[in-house]
Chain A
Amino acid sequence: MSKDWELIISGSGGQGAILAGIIFAEAALADGYNVIQTQSYGPEARGGASRSEVLISHEELAYPKVQDCNLMVALTQESLDKYGSLLGAGGILIIDEAIDSSTLKTSIKVYKAPIFATAEKLLKPMVANILVLGILNAISGIVNLEHLESAVQARVPAATIPLNLTALAEGSKIGKDLASKSI
């Protein structure tokens, strides 16, 4: 029995943090997990930091919100500042290399990745959310990559599927690289 995951993906409005959460949840569901995805709504979600929460477990899930976050993606400094304290001791944090995480608990394992640089250089900045899913999954190993690819295909606009799949693959590569270095 694998461990339970309580994931928060946060970013600023328009970065696709919420969609990323939905896609990851869908992949985990296809993988046979029980999942719950929720997100911030309303004024809280307009401007500033928004977040998507995903609970992933082989046990039945009841309470629908994150209680003990052990996996976090923060796409902006602001979102990390706002939600970083929710990440528990020993948790995993994935952030862009430009973000400062020095104020977090020391037990947190921080993976800094060139998220935006890669997205911009190779592709387009708007796919950073999908790229980061590749990183996230390569590091955490939660879902079968094929399920993640299917979920991406099902949820992004049809015209952008090839682009997003490239971003996912690129993210997986970066993630594997980071994971191997950290061993």
Chain B
Amino acid sequence: MSKKLIQGNEACVEGALAAGARFFAGYPITPSTEIAELMAKKLPRVGGVFMQMEDEIASIATIIGASISGAKAMTATSGPGFSLMQENLGFAAMTEVPIVVVNVTRGGPSTGTPTKASQGDFMQARWGCHGDHPIIVLAPSSVQEVYDLAITAFNMSEKYMVPVVLLYDEVVGHLREGVELVASSEVLNREFPTVAPANYRPYATGDGLIPKLAPFGSGYRYHMSGLSHDETGFPTGNPATIENLVMRLNDKIENNRKDIIKYKAIDMEDAEVILLAYGSPLRSAQQVQKQARARGEKVGLIQLLTLWPFPHELLTDVYAKTKADFIVPELSLGQLADEVSKSVPRDKITRVNRNDGALITPAQLEQVLKGVM
């Protein structure tokens, strides 16, 4: 199949539709708006629903509602809107309703720099909601990866009954590259209950830890609440029941880290220096790593595709084997490097940070590499 020249944000829409997304509710915000515009054009043509809401809070609430009715639903936003969505993101995590939230990141804090790339939402994507909650965050760095990971996002969301955040910066969202619009993985759908309605306990999961939630209107009448609840879905104040719930919510992700954590590790075997990145800084790191290898320098590259759960086991393992120095370029003050430092000694990490809206260039990274080698 021939490649099509499309933007990152267009690839996001194509991937979502290929994954079966049939409901979008959103609010315009730079640099994610093309996603809403394209969804408005395409969804009604495939029998899906597009709604422009009054704000981002309504947007995420509406897609959670749509998913409760059984639809594969998503929204797209950027930093300020993502901040507004946090409470209901936690609601989806708590009630185990699958949704996909796309955050095309821009400079912050506050209104910040709407048209420039940033990675300052790295920690918010994981810890923006109050409470110990599960979440999956995926981070494409190319237009092809936006397409592929949009499908993966829906698949993981449906498989684990958890909200998935697709996080990429403005540069990835707006650049155009050739893309093959062919799903690289099969489309997964959530499992529905098979027990008789009278015996249905929505949050009784057994060992798999993943609930089978019946869509509203399918003959299973049950209660769903953001309050701490028991297996029937009704509120509880029982400490053991509450603990079971919170542990199960988190364990259903933790127990499946192998399946969820995706990355690319290149030239690790003899690496003395490892560049570790995602998003637009990864693009510079790719160029620099290639140039360095061409010069005969022992430089490796780790590209994170899953940001959360964070691949500590990978980094611990790589560091144990290589004792390499890590260079971590990121468009923030060190949110990623700080997380890396839980697996790699702090003095082995060189931070490369930018927060002025400009990209970390290959030339800038070459300078840093020269200092580390």
* A interface list, Cβ under 8 A from B: 22, 25-26, 29-30, 34-39, 41-44, 61-65, 67
27 pairs from A and B in contact (CB 8 Å cutoff): A22-B5, A22-B176, A26-B5, A34-B178, A35-B5, A35-B176, A36-B176, A36-B177, A37-B5, A37-B175, A38-B174, A39-B174, A41-B30, A41-B31, A41-B174, A42-B30, A42-B114, A42-B115, A44-B115, A62-B283, A62-B286, A62-B362, A63-B283, A64-B171, A64-B175, A64-B280, A67-B363
- Which of chain B's residues has its CB closest to A21's CB? B176
Q: Is B346 an interface residue (CB 8 A)?
A: no
Give the distance in Å from the alpha carbon of A63 to the alpha carbon of B175 in the complex: 11
A18 to chain B, nearest CB (A): 10
The answer to whether A62 and B287 touch across the interface, beta carbons within 8 angstroms, is: yes
Residues of A within 8 A of B86 (CB): none
A147 to chain B, nearest CB (A): 11
Q: Give the contact-size bracket for chain B.
A: 20 to 34
**Secondary structure call for the A interface:** mixed
Top 9 closest pairs, chain A to chain B, by CB = A42-B115, A62-B286, A37-B176, A62-B287, A41-B115, A26-B5, A29-B178, A63-B287, A64-B175
B149 to chain A, nearest CB (A): 17
**Secondary structure call for the B interface:** mixed
- Which of chain B's residues has its CB closest to A54's CB? B176
Q: Is B194 an interface residue (CB 8 A)?
A: no
Contact partner, B176, options A25, A43, A44, Cβ 8 Å: A25
Residues of B within 8 A of A29 (CB): 3, 5, 178
Give the distance in Å from the alpha carbon of A43 to the alpha carbon of B280 in the complex: 21
Residues of A within 8 A of B177 (CB): 35-37, 61
Contact partner, A30, options B2, B175, B284, Cβ 8 Å: B2
Given contact pairs A62-B283, A63-B283, A43 touches B175 in the complex (Cβ within 8 A): no
B358 to chain A, nearest CB (A): 10
Per-position binary interface string of chain B over residues 49-88, scored 1 when its CB falls under 8 Å from any chain A CB and 0 otherwise: 0000000000000000000000000000000000000000
The answer to whether A38 and B176 touch across the interface, beta carbons within 8 angstroms, is: yes
Residues of B within 8 A of A61 (CB): 177
- Which of chain A's residues has its CB closest to B289's CB? A62
The answer to whether B2 and A67 touch across the interface, beta carbons within 8 angstroms, is: no
